[in-house]
Homo-oligomer: A and B are copies of this chain.
Amino acid sequence: MQQRGFLLILSGPSGAGKNTVLDAARERLPDLLYSVSATTRPRRPLEEDGRDYFFLAKEEFQRRVKAGEFLEWAEFCNHYYGTPMAYITEALEKGQVVAMDIDIQGARQVKEKMPEAVFVFLLPPTMAELESRLRGRSSDSDTAIRRRLHTALSELKAGIEYDYVIRNDEIDRAADQLVAIITAERCRLRHSEYFELLKDIVGEQGVISKDDEPTAH
């Protein structure tokens, strides 16, 4: 019997430190898989195909978009970036946990295709400062800060019902919390091996026969 895999999405406003926190979590959980993106941008010297990115020609990328082969994709600075669906579904079928960090728009696309994924929102380290300023401890003219906070909050509100929120005041603490979320989600009834057992044994007729049913006790 095998645990059921799940996809963990770490998202949040830019500057939240998604990549740093996820890297720190991966150090603590060596068997955590990291989703490798595909891209059409040129490979940089130290990058490796299949480890850092799957490097694709633009035509091939577009073909795969049309074929629905990406969980999500986007264009930045004239290059395409996307998450190959096959890589993730294969890992999930093996019972593995796959993590990816992604911007809020990308997380929205994932939510549409895989609503059962676990969604974690990472708050930028500056949130506490923004918050206290918003709460009246700064000059009213400081609208830039209010604007940034408003954007972060409205993105969260409008975007996705995130399952968890982590405040990235301290990378180690944030990474510990992410690891705890992954450990807890592995114990979640629907992800646990026990869920399958329950379905196998109790949910199906005949596996436990009437003769085996307990008498009054």
Contact = CB atoms under 8 A, between A and B. Distances in A.
Interface stretch (A19-27, A47-55, A71-79, A154-162): A154-162
Assembly stoichiometry (copies): 2
A127 to B, nearest CB: 8
B153 A201 contact: yes
Chain A interface size range: 35 or more
Interface stretch (A82-90, A104-112, A184-192): A184-192
B212 A146 contact: yes
A208 interface: yes
B134 A201 contact: yes
A198 B156 contact: yes
Interface string A141-154: 00100110111011
Contact of A194 (B167, B176, B201): B167
Contact of A187 (B154, B181, B198, B202): B181
Contacts of A1: 131
Contacts of A177: 183-184, 186-187
B212 A147 contact: yes
A163 interface: yes
A70 B46 CA distance: 64
B131 A214 contact: no
A198 B212 CA distance: 52
A170 interface: no
Given A143-B212, A212-B150, A184 B202 contact: no
Nearest to A194: B165
A179 B176 CA distance: 12
A165 B203 CA distance: 17
Contacts of A201: 134, 149-150, 153
B151 A214 contact: yes
A183 B134 CA distance: 28
Pairs of residues from A and B, 6 with the lowest C-beta to C-beta distance, nearest first: A184-B184, A180-B183, A180-B180, A181-B184, A164-B187, A146-B212
5 contacts: A120-B187, A134-B208, A147-B214, A150-B202, A166-B187
